[in-house]
Homo-oligomer: A and B are copies of this chain.
Amino acid sequence: MPAAPRPPARKSPADFRQSAEVFKALSNANRLLIIDALSTGEHCVADLTELVGLDMSTVSNHLAVLRNVGLVTDDRRGTQVFYSLRDPCVMNMFCCLDDFRAGRPR
């Protein structure tokens, strides 16, 4: 469970840019689907391709985006590559977002 919110240290522009990069990686519904799937455990690319329903090259690109900001890690075993969440605490952001959206009538 995330720590109580605390006033974060004063942020530099670089902090905002790095944060923006992570949010950008999460700004695509297919990547969110991938993250959600990985929250239950590691998956190989073929698994995720079936789940997402896009071309495997597209899924591979999305995984590269997620890996580049450190959201997921890869583990090659034979011809398959298995992806996992680098830190499951990213799911806390989903909970926060759910809370935020719940507070907003549509």
Contact = CB atoms under 8 A, between A and B. Distances in A.
Interface of A: 1-6, 8, 11, 13, 16-24, 26-33, 36, 70, 86-87, 89-101, 103-104
- Centre residue among A17, A18, A23, A36 by max chain B CB count within 10 A: A23
Contacts of A16: 29-30, 32-33, 36
- How many monomers of this chain does the complex have? 2
Given A13-B29, A27-B27, A95 B19 contact: no
B104 A70 contact: yes
A99 B19 contact: no
Q: Give the top 7 A-B pairs by smallest Cβ distance, nearest first.
A: A24-B27, A23-B26, A1-B4, A16-B29, A23-B27, A20-B29, A16-B32
